[in-house]
Amino acid sequence: MGVLEIGRGMGVTLSKLFQKPVTVSYPEQRATIQPRFRGRHVLTRHPSNKPGEPGLEKCIGCSLCAAACPAYAIYVEAAENDPAHPTSPGERYASVYEINMLRCIFCGMCEEACPTGAVVMGNEFEMADYRYRDFVYSKEDMLVGVTGSVPQRREAARKGKPVRLGFQVPDGVRPELEGVKYE
Amino acid sequence: MPHWLIEVIVVLLKGVGVAFALLTTFAYMTLVERRLLARMQIRLGPNRVGPGGLLQPLADAIKSIFKEDLRITRADQLVYTLAPLIAITCALAAFGGLPAGPPNSFFGANPWVYSLDVGVLALLALTSMGVYGIFLGGWASGSKYPLLGGLRSAAQIISYELGMGLSLLGLLMLVGSTSFRDIVAWQGAHGWMIVFQSLAFVTFLISSFAETNRTPFDLPEAEQELVAGYLTEYSAIKWALFQMAEYVNMITASALMSTLFFGGYKGPQFLNALIPGISEWPFIWLILKIAVFLFVFIWVRATLPRLRYDQLMRFGWKLLFPLALGNTMFVAFYLAYLKSWGLWPLGVVSLLGVVALIAGSDRVRPLWNQPGVRITDEAARLPGGD
């Protein structure tokens, strides 16, 4: 390390002093994340053919996601579909679908295992909360149409303001997240 | 009131003022340093507490005061508590000797707390007393890592103290006095000391970095090797006091460099043509010069990696010490036999020395850094090893 190299290094640090910082002031500025980011799960639906009604749930309650989950975070309970008013296109649907977000390691294996593309990892990452029991997300927290995580919705209700999502996705959402509306 | 009592009160007030100013500077130094480091790493730095993060030092102070102060079972309680106090006292006491302006310029009072004829020596002695804080702190913690860290830091500081003191000897011989006021007056008459003693300034600058435990010589806090060195068992306000001492030492070192090599409290003479007497205004010039050096301290911290301990010791003893000694001997020789030539040849030779150092910096590196040499030697001696 000659003195001249030290001088060059000092020049580099000094020049950086006048550069614009790359820091994102996160709560005020929205974080920009990659489209393939693995965030909170979304349970998707098929496109609806009756206007005004939501489409059928893609989940057929096969429990493959639970089997594939390395963290044992997913619990699925299947039930028979009512033929007159089916919840899903298969014979069965998930009557209970829970993911323990404290166990989840966001690896995406559930996505890989799902034969119908029902469970998909979305882009939402603001999930910090205070109580253990609030981290078990059920179908109501993940089905298409739900905006924001449980803590986000609670915060929004407390402040009387709309749910604010903690991200920006530059190139739009992934095609498998059809029906999910992100700002 | 008798005359002497008024003097005592004035000195006390000035002392308190200096201590207060130093502690405030320390508090805001931490903020300025963090912001500057962040900007040099293209980050923003602390900007949450107060406008632009201005209340961050206050928040830090409140935190360190009210944080739980751990009681160490195996610690020697008395020495354990005294050690940070020694460190901060020595650091604070040292600063008072530096003149910040011409005599009687500060509302009729002298802009310094005490002025000794042995000014430089007293200041060096006081700053080096700070090593007691570090060493006793390490010893009294009653744990092995702090003990090793304290020993190591003591060795480091004493080693570099030699280079520091020696690099000043040439300067003192030139001036013929150890009083700061004489040194500043000499520089006012002959020009800044950096011109005549650039080599000494370089060695002094490097030793100051080591003395104040700043990067690249911040081994006392080497977390990777010694957990946190002598500081390991300290928490809350005691820990903050050690930090304070370090920063105050840094400010003192900056002030020392400004006073000894950069004309002290005197400003540039040509400004007198614009505003008469501006170069004699107290405080302003010294504070400006201190600020420049503090920036250099931070800048170096943002750039250089930490040295290894053996490199540090080798660098101090094999390069810095002989250089400072050589400079001293050369100045002594010059003053004894060639004084009639004037001062300029001295400055030229000193500058040539610096240039030679910069040019040969890669050549002399094996003096303190021998990458791999020992390992191959040992491997060759092992039977069957390659």
Q: How far is B306 from chain A (nearest CA, A)?
A: 12
State the pLDDT at residue A65.
92
State the pLDDT at residue B384.
54
Q: Mutate which of A5, A14, A17 to test chain B, going by most B C-beta atoms within 10 A?
A: A17
Residues of A within an 8 Å Cβ radius of B: 1-4, 6, 9-10, 12-14, 16-17, 19-23, 25
Percent of chain B with pLDDT over 90: 4
Chain A residues lying within 8 Å of B362, measured CB to CB: 2
Among A183, A176, A140, A137, which residue's Cα sits nearest to residue A44? A176
pLDDT by residue (tens digit) across A97-120?
999 999 999 999 998 899 888 898
State the pLDDT at residue B386.
45
Q: Between the CA atoms of B120, B126, B129 and B134, what dihedral angle is there, to the nearest 10 degrees?
A: -110
Please determine, for the modelled complex, whether the ipTM score is greater than 0.85.
no
- Tell me the average pLDDT of chain B: 83
**Which residue positions in chain A have pLDDT lower than 70?**
1, 171-183
Among B98, B88, B176, B77, which residue's Cα sits nearest to residue B132? B88
Contact A16 B358 (CB under 8 A): no
B79/B89 Cα distance (integer angstroms): 15
pTM exceeds 0.90, yes or no: no
State the pLDDT at residue B119.
81
Higher pLDDT, A75 or B46: A75
Residues in Cβ contact with B268 at an 8 Å cutoff, skipping those fewer than 6 apart: B279
B300/A13 Cα distance (integer angstroms): 9
Residue written as token pair 């002695």: B125
State the pLDDT at residue B371.
57
SS (H, E, C) chain A: CCHHHHHHHHHHHHHHHCCCCCCCCCCCCCEECCCCCCCCEEECECCCCCCCCCCCECCCCCCHHHHHCCCCCEEEEEEECCCCCCCCCCCEEEEEEEEECCCCCCCCHHHHHCCCCCEEECCCCCCCCCCHHHHEECHHHHECCCCCCHHHHHHHHHHCCCCCCCEECCCCCCHHHCCCCCC
pLDDT by residue (tens digit) across B200-252?
899 999 998 888 888 788 777 777 777 777 888 888 888 888 888 888 888 88
State the pLDDT at residue B385.
46
Contact A3 B361 (CB under 8 A): yes
Chain B residues lying within 8 Å of A1, measured CB to CB: 361, 365
Q: What is the distance between the terminal CA atoms of chain A, rounded to a whole angstrom?
A: 51
A176 touches A117 (CB < 8 A): yes
State the pLDDT at residue A183.
44
Interface list for B 42-71 with A (CB within 8 A): 42-44, 47
Q: How far is A21 from chain B (nearest CA, A)?
A: 4
pLDDT by residue (tens digit) across B70-124?
888 888 888 888 888 888 888 888 888 888 877 777 777 777 777 788 888 888 8
Chain A residues lying within 8 Å of B36, measured CB to CB: 17
